[in-house]
Amino acid sequence: MSDKSAGRFQAPFVMKMSFYSPSSKNQAKNAAHIKYIGTRPGAVYEHEQVNGSIELESAQHRPDPDTAAGHVLYAHERPGSHGLFSAERQPPNLPEIQKELQEHQGIVWRFVLSLTEADAKRLGYDDRVAWEDSLRLTVPLAAEKMGIKESNLRWVAAFHQEKGHPHVHLVIWEKEPVRRKGALSKGERIDVKKVFMKEIYADERVRLLQEKTAMRDLMRDFAKASTEKAVQLQREVSLEYGKVQLEMTAIGATKPGIPPKPYPEDVRLLSDQLKELSRLMPGKGRVALKFMPEEAKQKAREIAEKMVDQPPFKELYERYMKSVEEITRLHNIHPEAIKKAKDNAHNDLRDRLANVLLRGASSMQDTLVRGSLNRERGNEKPALQQEQQVARSVWRSVWRELDKERMRQEAQSEIEKRRELQRKTRAKQRENEQDRER
């Protein structure tokens, strides 16, 4: 990325790297790190449930979170993470990875690759799939810059959808230890970072090139006529691009932001509420508010009402309602009309969130069935973890739905205000023309 194009983003791409030389202490750390990045409550597991920790011979060998085995644990397990992935499409086996790292006699490298939330959204790197595809392409190239052949390469990673700075934790090691130096030279660090940046910013570079080419052609066509016209055209193109972005947001085509992490007490409360709601729902049929028994409808709406009054949701809700009022005031300033519009908007939003909660409660039904089987076997912990995982997922889904509606409503409000301004401007112009004719 050039300095000019990099300026279009909030902050530069961040790459942090550390390494762990082979020792019994670091081997334990490496194993613990893997589990820590991979399996803490809040991780979303793909195709398989990661359950508990690697079974070690004794408690004193349990991986420390600061170790390399511990770092892999951290990436797959901490709140907000989305599970471990690797070069293969099938999810890696966590206990096997931990065991491999505990026995590994070579160096283990840990990376954290990070973007700001706004830049991640713009570049399409605010979800796990994008990072998975990118790392499967770039990690072998980055390892090559470190002198590691792809045939001798091992790696796992986990995506953390962290509010403000989504990032991945990447752990690299060699199947058969060859490299003896853990630290990367300045040149190696630059080369490795360039590999990741080249892929992450690839689409943006193409877009910038297309914009530059299109603008150059337009400027060339108009240069013969007038420089002033060419500059005016450039302004109009920029304004039109902004209008398109606004209209896309107004129809709900823009992705919402990254939800903040819920507090443990919020997770416990929502888990209890979802379990209560799930007991009021039929065990079959379409999961939608309009098809639910009245008791289930009331409970889902009650939970939604309470959630929008909680701090993480309240700001979004208030901004949503403010935009509703702004749009209404453009056409009707009567208090009764404004109240009616806000009541209708509130009820519509509440029911949208209630549908999200019902889908979550349906997932909780399945979780409770599996949990009862685990409890019969005397295994209480996995059942509780699964219930809280469902609650976290629903909490995030409610936040995203609310943020999406907030963005859509604010964009509609801005469009309406611009239209009203244009209408007044045209009316003023007609009035001035009539005055001149007189």
User: Do 423 and 314 fall within a single domain?
Assistant: yes
Inter-helix orientation angle 227-250/202-223, to 10°: 140
Look at the pTM and tell me if it is higher than 0.85.
no
Report pLDDT for 323. Answer: 92
Measured CA to CA, the distance from residue 403 to residue 397 in angstroms comes to 10
| Dihedral angle over CA of 85, 86, 88, 94, nearest 10 | -70
Q: Provide the residue range defining the domain that includes 89.
A: 3-203
Report pLDDT for 62. Answer: 42
Note the maximum CA span of the chain.
99
Residue whose entry in the numeric block shows the structure tokens 């509606």? 405
Beta bridge partners of 81: 160
Q: Is position 190 within any domain? A: yes
Report pLDDT for 416. Answer: 85
User: Do 282 and 387 fall within a single domain?
Assistant: yes
Measured CA to CA, the distance from residue 17 to residue 27 in angstroms comes to 18
User: Do 288 and 233 fall within a single domain?
Assistant: no
User: Do 139 and 229 fall within a single domain?
Assistant: no
| Number of helices (H), then strands (E), in the chain | 14, 5
User: Do 24 and 138 fall within a single domain?
Assistant: yes
**One-letter amino acid identity for 425?**
T
User: Do 122 and 170 fall within a single domain?
Assistant: yes
Give the distance from CA 209 to its chain's centroid: 27
Q: Is position 216 within any domain? A: no
Q: Is position 217 within any domain? A: no
Which tokens belong to 326? Answer: 């702004």
Which tokens belong to 192? Answer: 């490795």
84 in the Ramachandran plot: left (φ > 0), alpha (ψ -120 to 50) or beta? beta
Measured CA to CA, the distance from residue 12 to residue 2 in angstroms comes to 11
- The residues of the chain scoring below 70 in pLDDT are 1-11, 39-82, 204-249, 251-254, 371-382, 438
**Residues contacting residue 328 through CB under 8 Å, at least 6 positions apart:** 337, 338, 341, 342
Q: Is position 210 within any domain? A: no
User: Do 374 and 423 fall within a single domain?
Assistant: yes
Count of structural domains, the chain: 3
User: Do 177 and 35 fall within a single domain?
Assistant: yes
Helix (H, G, I), strand (E, B) or coil at 113: strand
Give the distance from CA 247 to its chain's centroid: 22
Put the strands of the sheet holding 108-114 in their side by side order.
14-20, 108-114, 167-174, 153-160, 81-86
Q: Is position 208 within any domain? A: no
**One-letter amino acid identity for 178?**
V
User: Do 198 and 278 fall within a single domain?
Assistant: no
Strands annotated E in 207-354? none
Residue whose entry in the numeric block shows the structure tokens 């530059």? 212
Rounded to the nearest 5 percent, the helix, strand and coil shares of the chain are: 65, 10, 25
392-438 pLDDT tens trace: 889 999 999 999 999 888 888 888 888 888 888 888 888 888 878 76
Report pLDDT for 203. Answer: 72
User: Do 311 and 400 fall within a single domain?
Assistant: yes
Report pLDDT for 128. Answer: 86
> 310 and 316 in contact (C-beta within 8 Å)?
no
Q: Is position 219 within any domain? A: no
Domain of residue 184, CATH code? 3.30.930
User: Do 169 and 303 fall within a single domain?
Assistant: no
Give the closest residue to 153 by CA, choosing from 90, 88, 89, 71.
88
User: Do 359 and 245 fall within a single domain?
Assistant: no
235-249 pLDDT tens trace: 665 665 566 666 666
Give the distance from CA 110 to its chain's centroid: 22
Q: Is position 66 within any domain? A: yes
Measured CA to CA, the distance from residue 306 to residue 268 in angstroms comes to 15
Q: Is position 218 within any domain? A: no
